[in-house]
Amino acid sequence: MDELLLSGYLDGCRDELLATLVDWLRIPSVSADPAHASDVARSAEFCAGLMRDAGLTNVSVLPTGPGGDGTGAPAVYGEWLGAGPQALTVLVYGHHDVQPVDPLDEWEGPPFSPTVSNGVLRARGCSDDKGQVLMQLAAVRGVLERLGGLPVNVKVLVEGEEEVGSPHFEDLLARLGERVACDLVVVSDTTMVAPDVPSTTVGMRGLVAFDISLRTARSDLHSGIWGGTVPNAALVAARLAAALHDDRGRVSIDGFYDDVRELSPEEAGSLAALPFDERAFLDKAGVGYLTGEAGRSAYERTGSRPTAEVVGLHSGYGGPGTKTIVPATANLKLALRLVPDQQPGAVEQAFRAWVAEHVPRGVEVVVQRHGGVAPLVTPVEHPSVRALSRAIEKVWGTAPLFERSGGSGPEEALARALGAPVIFLGVALPEDNFHAPNERLDLSQLWRGVLAAGELLVELGAQEGLVRARPGHPGP
């Protein structure tokens, strides 16, 4: 691989990069725990130092919270705009906060005392996401060293609240405004199928959740006196949940699939080529069988197909033993994952109509919507995905397969706020224990990631067609 731009650079600084990452990983930047607020702040300062060291300018630790009042955890921003206003501007996204470490007793060593063994780094945050942020910054530093400049303008935004659901991220983007304007977002916070099966995420599902409160009676009724002839709220809720899917596992909401786009033949072929070991999949999920939409593979079901899951269902007595009541109220929580081109608003309308049709008259129903994230997809035919594919192929020797992520993250907010496509250069592996004890990072993946991030900058620099029209810039 000595033809790669950063091969030589990397050979000279692996130890230093690893030592730096280890120092960063010693900071327990757990955003979910207020007791770690100062650690999250230290982590932000550390990240700012990495940005300056990489050659970025205007580096700043950004307070977050309502109006930027600092009640949120700080983000970090840096930029290199030397490519000029005519050139492509790429915004790199990552996060420096980490997940809590519970259950601590399942860790093989202290989560914030990193260890390296057999080419594997172990520590909370090593793969999700400090290692992958470092990978991007190392590539920027390397390309600047090798070429004296970058082929594109680069803005780097490293969030501090990703692990708690990015509560202030949209507000931050709005406040940053033009400062984060870009043509393309590059996210490094995902996984690949395997070291020898490189892959890239090309989409994330959207999400809209509903809370359905049902009331069938003024109060719980005595089942001896009334049972058998009065409506039972638990049964009404159960029947509603049971009606959510037909017997082929398809969501029964009228019109739910109207806007669902089928995969392009290329993407469908790539998805079908992803290796799938059902036994390993079952073991990892800890389930006894797979289910879902008939005629669709597990990857389709979790990535490219919309779903409706019951998140919670609560009604009546839940204590020890039993109680002779007919429950009067029930609460049903559903989460609907959306795929292109479904939109939360249209799905909400269809859902409300479905509920109205399925709940018996005489039952009080209140449907509340929670959240609403549109699905995000960058077509595999998009020039930015082509550029990313070439960069990955140059390093791994194989073109990447395309994956759809079933989740919904801040990437959608980025895409929406910045109006830019999103691509994913993620080098962690499925076995890297994101959010779990013994989080790990395969160092060979990290080093290949640095090389690929460098190649990506080069590839993107050759993509004039990606530059969008913007104020003061005529566009291509």
Region 221-240 residues binding a second copy, contact defined as CB under 8 A: 221-232, 234-235, 237-240
Q: Is 89 in the site for a second copy (CB under 8 A)?
A: no
Burial 429-447 (b: 16+ CB within 10 A, else e): beebbbeebbbbbbbebbb
* Least spacing, CB of residue 462 vs a second copy, in Å: 34
Query: How many residues of this chain interact with a second copy, rule: CB under 8 A?
Result: 80
43 burial via Cβ count (<10 Å: 0-12, 13-18, 19+): buried
| Contacts (CB under 8 A) with a second copy, residues 190-209 | 205, 207, 209
| Contacts (CB under 8 A) with a second copy, residues 112-131 | none
Asked if residue 320 has a cis previous peptide bond (ω within 30° of 0), the answer is no
Q: CB-wise, 207 or 467, nearer to a second copy?
A: 207
Query: For residues 396 and 183, what is the distance between their CA atoms, to the nearest angstrom?
Result: 26
Q: CB-wise, 116 or 194, nearer to a second copy?
A: 194
Q: CB-wise, 152 or 308, nearer to a second copy?
A: 308
Per-residue x/- track, 337-356, a second copy (CB under 8 A): x-------------------
* Least spacing, CB of residue 201 vs a second copy, in Å: 12
* Least spacing, CB of residue 313 vs a second copy, in Å: 4
* Least spacing, CB of residue 326 vs a second copy, in Å: 5
* Residue choice 363, 365, 367, 399 for contact with a second copy (CB under 8 A): 363
Cα 152 from chain centroid (whole Å)? 25
* Residue choice 64, 216, 270, 378 for contact with a second copy (CB under 8 A): 216
Per-residue x/- track, 425-454, a second copy (CB under 8 A): ----------x-------------------
* Least spacing, CB of residue 345 vs a second copy, in Å: 17
| Contacts (CB under 8 A) with a second copy, residues 367-396 | 370-371
Characterize the bridge pairing of strands 199-204 and 206-215. unpaired
Among 198, 95, 93, residue whose Cα is nearest residue 411: 93
* Residue choice 15, 219, 295, 474 for contact with a second copy (CB under 8 A): 219
3-state secondary structure of 338: strand
The enclosing H or E element of 90 equals strand 89-95
Q: What radius of gyration do the chain's Cα atoms show?
A: 24
Q: Are 61 and 49 in contact (CB under 8 A)?
A: no
Q: Are 54 and 136 in contact (CB under 8 A)?
A: no
Q: Is 405 in the site for a second copy (CB under 8 A)?
A: yes
Q: Is 261 in the site for a second copy (CB under 8 A)?
A: no
Query: For residues 257 and 306, what is the distance between their CA atoms, to the nearest angstrom?
Result: 8
Per-residue x/- track, 266-305, a second copy (CB under 8 A): -------------------xxxxxxxxx----x--xx--x
Query: For residues 330 and 201, what is the distance between their CA atoms, to the nearest angstrom?
Result: 38
Among 421, 344, 326, residue whose Cα is nearest residue 379: 421
* Least spacing, CB of residue 171 vs a second copy, in Å: 18
Query: For residues 127 and 79, what is the distance between their CA atoms, to the nearest angstrom?
Result: 23
| Contacts (CB under 8 A) with a second copy, residues 303-322 | 305, 307, 309-318, 321-322
Burial 15-28 (b: 16+ CB within 10 A, else e): eebbebbbebbbbb
